[in-house]
Amino acid sequence: MSRILLGVSGGIAAYKALELVRLATGAGHSVRVVQTPASRRFVGEASFAALSGAPVLVSEFERDPARGAFPDQEPPTHEPLSHLELVANADVFLIAPASANTIAKLAAGLADNLLTSCALAASCPLVIAPAMNNRMYEHPATAANLRTLAGRGVQIVEPGVGRLASKGEQGVGRLAEPERLLEACVEAITAGGRLPAPAAAQSLEGVRVLVTAGGTREAIDSVRYIGNSSSGRMGFALAEVAHERGAQVTLVAANVALATPAGVERRDVTSAAELERACEEAFADCDVLLMAAAVADFTPAQVENGKIKKEQRERLEIVLEPTADVLRGLSAHRHAGQTLVGFAAEHGADAVQGASGKLLAKDLDALVVNDISREDIGFDSDANEVTILSAPGDRSQIERHHVPRASKAEVAAAILDTVEGLRGSG
Ligand code: CTP
């Protein structure tokens, strides 16, 4: 049982925060809620108070009838300052939904309301779940603010893709589902040392693992790019689990707004060419390569200096030329003792069939196949369902191992089990 402080900022997704409170209290957690003034336009204090069984605060100057205590605690005899006492008692502070405005304030360190004051005073893990219109989410200012926060160790629960609040709009920006928010709280508490983490077997002790994660971006002009919707979660889960098993992990991250897993060395890259350079530098010294990044297959042949203007153009044609296949290039220089794992995003019924050819063509030991025709798993989801193809020994036979729908951490564990099996059989 943990104490979750929930900060609700302004947005239509505030209604999902109610469901989170219901889930969390149902699972035995103790919850207190603080709201921004704007969030009350979407869901009022009475609803959160009823579900959490505790008073809800909005202003830092408001008297807290519970004097900063959580429902499982006895209130102190004195009247403490709400923002200090609430975060001192909390095991985790989750801000969901986190609006673009609140994210910007957090990145700048502003403390202009109770929620932002709590965030600044918090020594417990801070988890934020952005929710907003896709154009606001994709705005470089929001992206930079999220990177700043991730760099400070804040855990970001990525928004999903789908229908948005404004009529007819689709895109990235939907608040993550309440189950995922609760899972992220528990993960953050565990990682923050407030719950004992189960000891992992050090089965990869001394093994050097190179992981790529995220999706590359190919510049069209100085502000626009061609990208993809890989969040980097699968690669980050692999890096984290490999480190827990004792590996020395280098993580090449392409445009990922997630906190770096503890103990992992991270190198940030943007384009396919930069990712290629970073991998080439680290490859010779690695024992295991886990190539989870979604690398662009094509890049604009020319990058326009400055910003392309729309005036006097009826249409704009962008000529693309192929990028290097990074994985194929690395495997051409592989040395004995290295284990190479590729990832393939395939579509539909022939997903596994098509991937077997890729495994042999790219000279890999294993290939993790995702069926991207499924909406409930893969790129932007917290869960994944994969088939791991592996070719042990002389590669005369390809073995298939289906991993049913599971969290990305569990899928990462299954992939690393396969890697360990291959290394043992090699
Ligand atoms: N990959 C790479 N460099 C590229 C493209 C892909 O290193 N330019 C790697 C990916 O990181 C992944 C694997 O190759 O591990 C398979 O990627 P995928 O895009 O499925 O395969 P492709 O060979 O690019 O084939 P497709 O035409 O199906 O996209």
* CA 353 to ligand 1 center in whole angstroms: 16
Distance CA 94, CA 57 (A): 15
Amino acid identity at 77:
T
Residue 134 is a catalytic residue:
no
Count structural domains, the chain.
Answer: 2
Q: Using CB atoms within 10 A of its CB, is residue 47 exposed (0-12), middle (13-18) or buried (19+)?
A: middle
Q: Whose CA is nearest to atom 12 of ligand 1?
A: 343
Q: How many CB atoms lie within 10 A of CB 144?
A: 13
**Dmax (CA) of the chain:** 74
Residues 218 and 292 in one domain: yes
**End-to-end C-alpha distance for the chain, whole angstroms:** 44
Q: How many CB atoms lie within 10 A of CB 199?
A: 7
Residues 204 and 183 in one domain: no
Distances 193 to 124, 128, 182, 190, 264 between C-alpha atoms, Å: 10, 19, 17, 5, 17
Q: Using CB atoms within 10 A of its CB, is residue 140 exposed (0-12), middle (13-18) or buried (19+)?
A: exposed
Which of 162, 191, 220 is at the close of a domain?
191
pLDDT of residue 196: 43
Helix axes 114-121, 100-108, angle to 10 degrees: 40
Residues 156 and 46 in one domain: yes
Q: 283 in ligand 1 pocket by Cβ < 6 Å?
A: no
Residues 237 and 369 in one domain: yes
Is residue 391 within 8 Å of residue 355, measured between CB atoms? no
Residues 296 and 177 in one domain: no
pLDDT of residue 197: 43
DSSP state, residue 39: G
* CA 148 to ligand 1 center in whole angstroms: 30
Residue matched to tokens 């999903």 = 160
Which of 137, 172, 191 is at the close of a domain?
191
Distance CA 301, CA 318 (A): 8
Q: Whose CA is nearest to atom 23 of ligand 1?
A: 358
pLDDT of residue 425: 65
pLDDT of residue 332: 97
Residues 127 and 250 in one domain: no
CATH of the domain at 351: 3.40.50.10300
pLDDT of residue 380: 59
Distance CA 237, CA 381 (A): 13
β-pair type (288-291, 339-346): parallel
Q: Which numbered atom of ligand 1 lies nearest the CA of 293?
A: 11
Residues 166 and 212 in one domain: no
Q: Whose CA is nearest to atom 27 of ligand 1?
A: 297
Q: Which of 101, 113, 133, 228 is catalytic?
A: 228
What is the span of the domain harbouring residue 73?
A: 3-191
Q: Which numbered atom of ligand 1 lies nearest the CA of 354?
A: 28
* CA 344 to ligand 1 center in whole angstroms: 7
Residues 228 and 184 in one domain: no
Is residue 380 within 8 Å of residue 229, measured between CB atoms? yes
Residues 254 and 173 in one domain: no
Residues 183 and 40 in one domain: yes
Cβ contacts of 78 within 8 Å, gap of 6 or more? 67
Is residue 260 within 8 Å of residue 251, measured between CB atoms? yes
Q: 293 in ligand 1 pocket by Cβ < 6 Å?
A: yes
Residue 279 CA from chain centroid, whole number: 21
Distance CA 252, CA 286 (A): 13
pLDDT in tens, the chain (426 residues): 899 999 999 999 999 999 999 999 999 999 999 999 999 999 999 999 999 999 999 998 999 999 999 999 998 888 888 878 999 999 999 999 999 999 999 999 999 999 999 999 998 999 999 999 989 998 999 999 998 998 888 999 988 877 777 777 777 789 999 999 999 999 998 876 544 444 567 899 999 999 999 999 999 999 999 999 999 999 999 999 999 999 999 999 999 999 999 999 999 999 999 999 999 999 999 999 999 999 999 999 999 999 999 988 899 999 999 999 999 999 999 999 999 999 998 877 777 778 888 999 999 999 999 877 766 655 556 678 889 999 988 778 889 988 888 888 889 999 999 999 999 865
Q: How many CB atoms lie within 10 A of CB 296?
A: 23
Residues 114 and 250 in one domain: no
Which of 166, 191, 216 is at the close of a domain?
191
Q: Using CB atoms within 10 A of its CB, is residue 21 exposed (0-12), middle (13-18) or buried (19+)?
A: buried
CATH of the domain at 107: 3.40.50.1950
Q: Which numbered atom of ligand 1 lies nearest the CA of 272?
A: 8
* CA 51 to ligand 1 center in whole angstroms: 47
DSSP state, residue 390: E
Residues 398 and 304 in one domain: yes
Which of 424, 413, 336 has the alpha carbon at shortest distance from 368? 413
What does 197-257 look like in DSSP terms, one character per residue? Answer: PPPPP-TTTT-EEEEEEEB--EESSSS-EE-----SHHHHHHHHHHHHTT-EEEEEEES--
Q: 342 in ligand 1 pocket by Cβ < 6 Å?
A: yes
What counts of helices (H) and strands (E) characterise the chain?
Answer: 13, 20
